[in-house]
Amino acid sequence: MKYISTRGNAPELSFAEAMLTGLARDGGLYVPKKIPTMAQDDIAALAGLSYEEIAFRVMKPFVGDCFTDEEFQGIIARAYEGFRHAARAPLVQLAPNHYLLELFHGPTLAFKDFAMQLIGQLFQFELGRRNERVTIVGATSGDTGSAAIEAFRGLDNVDVFILYPDGRTSDIQRKQMTTPDDANVHALALDGDFDECQARLKDMFNDFEFRDGVKLAGVNSINWARVLAQVVYYFASAVSLGAPHRKVSFTVPTGNFGDIFAGFIAKQMGLPIEDLVIATNQNDILHRTMETGAYTKDGVKPSISPSMDIQVSSNFERALFFAYDRDGDAVAKSMEELKDGSFTISQGAMDYLRENFSSGRASEEETYATIKSEYAACQEVLCPHSAVAVKVGNENLSEVPMITLATAHPAKFPDAVEKAIKTRPALPPHMADLMEREERMCKVPNQLVLLQTLIKDRIAAR
Ligand SMILES: *Cc1c(COP(=O)(O)O)cnc(C)c1O
C-alpha cells in the first residue's frame, strides 16, 4: 500500500513513512494510492466483534506490510485499553430513527483520543524499531494539546511539548495539559495568543537546523494515520445497526474535515452509507461552499463549540482531490488561489461533492436550544459540538437510520451546557479530582530562540 500527495508532486511513501512525515513535501496531504474495498460478507462478519478486532480488520489493508498482524493487534490493544467504556464507541438512541455515537469515553473525553491514542502507539512502535527518537511540538487552543499529551506520555522514544496561550484556555483544558507528571511531557504556557503559538511552531518547522537537530515531528489533523483511526467507528456503528444489509447515514460536527473525511473513506471501502452530513456552527465556510461552489474565507467568529471555529479546513483538500478525480494539479491550483482568500470549485467537482455530502449549520441560539431540547426529550446531555450536529442531523432524518457523532463529553464545556439546562455537568469519576491535581508547566516568553533553547535543554536532560 503506497501513499501519494494530493498535490501530485511528492514521493510515494509507505504507511509508516507517511505517518512520520505528516505534511507532504509539495505542501499536500497524503492519501492512499488506491482505497482498498471490503466485501459485503466481510463487513457483515464484523457484527458482534470487539472494537479492537473491527479496528484491526478495517485498518489492516491500509498499513500494508509495515507491521505483522500480531504487532498491529498489539498496537491497537494498547491504544484503546485506556478507554472507559467496554464498547469504546457506544451508540445510544435519541429518537425512533436517530442514534448518537458517543466518542468521548477516551482519556481526554473527546473523539480526538481515538486517533491520538493510536498514533502514540504507532509512533512508539515504529521509532523503537528504527531506534530513533522524535520531538513532537504542538500548538493548541485546548483540545488537541491534551489529547497529544495523553497519547505520548510515558513513551520512551518521544518528547512532547505543547504550546498553549497562557490564560486563554478553559480551566479544564489547562488542567488536562499541566497535570500529567511524566518526564517526557512539557506543557509550555506562552505569553501570547493562539495565533502566536501557531506562528512559533511554524517558525520551528521552518528552521531546518533546529528541525533536524531535535527531529521535530507533527501530529496535527492532516496526519493520514489520524484519519484512518477514525474510519473504524463508522464501520463499528453501522454494523451494529444492521449494515451492510441496511444502509445508514451520518451527521458529523465538522471543523478541519478530518472526522467526516474518515466517513467518506468508509463509504469508498464499501460501507453502505446513504448520506454524510457536514454540520457546522456559525463558522459555516463548509456549508457555504456546498451551497455556492465557492470556498471563501471569512473572519472566525468565536463560538461555544470552539473546536469547530475554523477558516481553513485543512482536510477538505483530501475531498477536493477525489472530487477532481485525483488531479493533483487542480488541487494545487485551488490551494494557491486560497492564499488570496477564495477559490471556486468546478461544476464536475461540485457534483461529486454533492453526491457524497450534504450540509447544514447551527447558530449559537440553535445550539443552546438543542442541548436543552435533547435533555428534555431523552436526558442525553450534549456538548455544544455534538449539539450542532444533532440539530443538523434532525433536519436530515429519513427512513434510513441517522447516526450523529458526539465528539466531546459535556463536562468539557460546562459553562455552555449549564446555561442551556441549568445544571452543571460533572466530570466522570476517574477525573473528578482533576481541578485539585497539582499543575506543572513552564511559562515561556513569545521568543523563538528562547523556546528553542528550552526544548534542546529539556531533551538533553532526559
Ligand atoms: C476537533 C473537534 C471537532 C472537529 O473535528 P474535525 O475532524 O476537525 O472536523 C469537533 N468536535 C470536537 C469536540 C473536536 O475536538
CA of 400 from ligand 1 middle (Å) equals 25
Ligand 1 atom nearest the C-alpha of 254 is: 9
Ligand 1 atom nearest the C-alpha of 143 is: 15
- pLDDT at position 248: 98
Taking the model in full, what pTM does it have? Answer: 0.95
User: What is the C-alpha separation between 209 and 247, in angstroms, rounded?
Assistant: 52
- Counting ligand 1 atoms within 8 A of each CB, the residue from 407, 412, 417 with the most, and so the one to mutate, is 407
Cis peptide before 165 (omega within 30 of 0): no
Q: Which of 91, 88, 92, 87 is nearest to 117 (CA)?
A: 88
Q: Which of 73, 64, 56 is nearest to 12 (CA)?
A: 64
Given the C-alpha cell 477525573, which residue does it identify? 431
CA of 386 from ligand 1 middle (Å) equals 10
**Is the Cβ–Cβ distance between 356 and 385 less than 8 Å?**
no
- Counting ligand 1 atoms within 8 A of each CB, the residue from 109, 119, 385 with the most, and so the one to mutate, is 385
- pLDDT at position 221: 79
CA of 247 from ligand 1 middle (Å) equals 25
- Which residue's CA is the closest to the ligand 1 atom numbered 8? 256
- Which residue's CA is the closest to the ligand 1 atom numbered 1? 307
- Counting ligand 1 atoms within 8 A of each CB, the residue from 143, 234, 254, 259 with the most, and so the one to mutate, is 259
Q: Which of 139, 142, 119, 152 is nearest to 16 (CA)?
A: 119
CA of 367 from ligand 1 middle (Å) equals 16
Under DSSP, the state recorded for 308 is G
User: What is the C-alpha separation between 166 and 193, in angstroms, rounded?
Assistant: 7
CA of 343 from ligand 1 middle (Å) equals 24
Alpha helices in 343-413 (DSSP H): 347-356, 364-378, 384-395
Residue 340 one-letter amino acid: D
Polymer length of the chain: 462
Ligand 1 atom nearest the C-alpha of 259 is: 7
- Counting ligand 1 atoms within 8 A of each CB, the residue from 113, 169, 256 with the most, and so the one to mutate, is 256
User: What is the C-alpha separation between 64 and 237, in angstroms, rounded?
Assistant: 25
Given the C-alpha cell 533536524, which residue does it identify? 212
Q: First CA to last CA across the chain, in angstroms?
A: 36
Cα dihedral across residues 145, 165, 361, 345: positive or negative: negative
Ligand 1 atom nearest the C-alpha of 144 is: 15
Q: Which of 353, 57, 23 is nearest to 216 (CA)?
A: 23
- Please state, in angstroms and as integers, the Cα–Cα distance from residue 161 to each residue in 11, 121, 208, following that order: 29, 17, 18
- pLDDT at position 104: 97
- Which residue's CA is the closest to the ligand 1 atom numbered 14? 307
- Please state, in angstroms and as integers, the Cα–Cα distance from residue 106 to each residue in 81, 90, 261, 334, 339, following that order: 9, 12, 21, 37, 37
Q: Which of 43, 42, 19 is nearest to 32 (CA)?
A: 19
- What is the H or E stretch that residue 125 is in? helix 112-130
Q: Mapping DSSP to helix (H, G, I), strand (E, B) and coil, where does residue 200 land? A: helix
CA of 393 from ligand 1 middle (Å) equals 16
- Please state, in angstroms and as integers, the Cα–Cα distance from residue 305 to each residue in 58, 147, 150, 384, 389, following that order: 30, 17, 22, 5, 11
- Which residue's CA is the closest to the ligand 1 atom numbered 2? 307
- pLDDT at position 311: 80
User: What is the C-alpha separation between 292 and 416, in angstroms, rounded?
Assistant: 31
User: What is the C-alpha separation between 163 and 451, in angstroms, rounded?
Assistant: 10
- What is the H or E stretch that residue 275 is in? strand 273-280
Residue 239, Cβ density class (10 Å: 0-12 exposed, 13-18 middle, ≥19 buried): buried
Strand partners, 5: 30
- pLDDT at position 119: 95
- What is the H or E stretch that residue 122 is in? helix 112-130
Strand runs labelled E in 140-214: 158-165, 185-190
User: What is the C-alpha separation between 249 and 241, in angstroms, rounded?
Assistant: 11
CA of 385 from ligand 1 middle (Å) equals 8
- pLDDT at position 409: 96
pLDDT in tens, the chain (462 residues): 999 999 999 999 999 999 988 888 888 999 999 999 999 999 999 999 999 999 999 999 999 999 999 999 999 999 999 999 999 999 999 999 999 999 999 999 999 999 999 999 999 999 999 999 999 998 887 788 999 999 999 999 999 999 999 988 888 889 999 999 999 999 999 998 877 888 898 889 888 899 889 998 888 778 999 999 999 999 999 999 999 999 999 999 999 999 999 999 999 999 999 999 999 999 999 999 999 999 998 888 889 998 898 888 889 999 999 999 999 999 999 999 998 999 999 999 999 999 999 999 999 999 999 999 999 999 999 999 999 999 999 999 999 999 999 999 999 999 999 999 999 999 999 899 999 999 999 999 999 999 999 999 999 988
Residues with CB under 6 A from ligand 1: 110, 112, 143, 221, 253-259, 307-308, 385, 407-408
Grid coordinates belonging to 271: 460501507
Q: Mapping DSSP to helix (H, G, I), strand (E, B) and coil, where does residue 43 land? A: helix
User: What is the C-alpha separation between 332 and 102, in angstroms, rounded?
Assistant: 36
CA of 253 from ligand 1 middle (Å) equals 7
Ligand 1 atom nearest the C-alpha of 104 is: 13
Ligand 1 atom nearest the C-alpha of 253 is: 10
| Residues taking part in catalysis | 112
Pairing of strands 98-102, 91-95: antiparallel
